[in-house]
Amino acid sequence: MATFHFELVSPEKLLFSGDVEAVVAPGADGQFTVLKDHAPVMAMLKPGVVEITETPSKKEKLFVRGGFADVSQDGFTILAEHAIPLAELDAAKIDADIKDVREDIADAKTDEARRAASEKLAQLQEVKAALGL
């Protein structure tokens, strides 16, 4: 299958860079898969799992806590807010995130900020449930 260049970066480091066959990303409006020659898209991501298919037998899953996806002619780049391999993820880490977001809700001064934070909380809880943690 045709491959394209994919990169996953978080502010602290470059987590993945290489040629892949397909990537499934958790878009804010729903999950989407990117294959070679995808139309250029700029999308926001919600907390969720990015699934990278390098070859049909070699897959990798990483948890991202929101970010941006940039599909261009040069390839696909995810700017993640925070990303860790799924294998290293445990309930405690997600719970810490959930606690952070709860604090954000408590601190929020505008309705807009509160709404955004509540949305994020719901998404995090969804991910937690989906992973069975």
Partner 1 sequence: MASLKDLRNRISSVKATQKITKAMQMVAASKLRRAQVAVEAARPYAERMESVLANLAGDVTSCAPPLLAGNGRDDAHLLVVCTAERGLCGAFNSTIVRLAREHIARLHGQEKTVKILCVGKKGYDQLRRQYEKDIIDLIELRAVRQIGFANGDEIGRKIIKLFEDGAFDVATLFFSRYKSVIAQIPTAMQLIPAQIPASATSREAGKGGAQAVYEYEPPGQDEILSTLLPRNISVQMFRALLENAASEQGARMSAMDSATRNAGDMIRKQTMQYNRSRQAMITKELIEIISGAEAL
| Site residues (vs partner 1, CB under 8 A) | 7, 9-14, 17, 27-29, 32, 39-44, 68, 70, 72-73, 77, 79, 81-82
| 72 in Cβ contact with 40 (< 8 Å) | yes
**HEC profile for 17-55?**
EEEECEEEEEECCEEEEECCCCCCEEEEECCEEEEEEEE
| Minimum separation from the CB atom of position 48 to partner 1 (A) | 14
| 23 in Cβ contact with 52 (< 8 Å) | yes
| Minimum separation from the CB atom of position 56 to partner 1 (A) | 27
| Minimum separation from the CB atom of position 78 to partner 1 (A) | 9
By beta-carbon proximity to partner 1, the closer residue of 57 and 110 is: 110
By beta-carbon proximity to partner 1, the closer residue of 41 and 131 is: 41
By beta-carbon proximity to partner 1, the closer residue of 88 and 112 is: 112
Q: Burial-class residue 1 by CB neighbours within 10 Å (0-12, 13-18, 19+).
A: exposed
Amino acid at the residue 5: H
By beta-carbon proximity to partner 1, the closer residue of 29 and 57 is: 29
| Minimum separation from the CB atom of position 46 to partner 1 (A) | 11
Q: Burial-class residue 3 by CB neighbours within 10 Å (0-12, 13-18, 19+).
A: middle
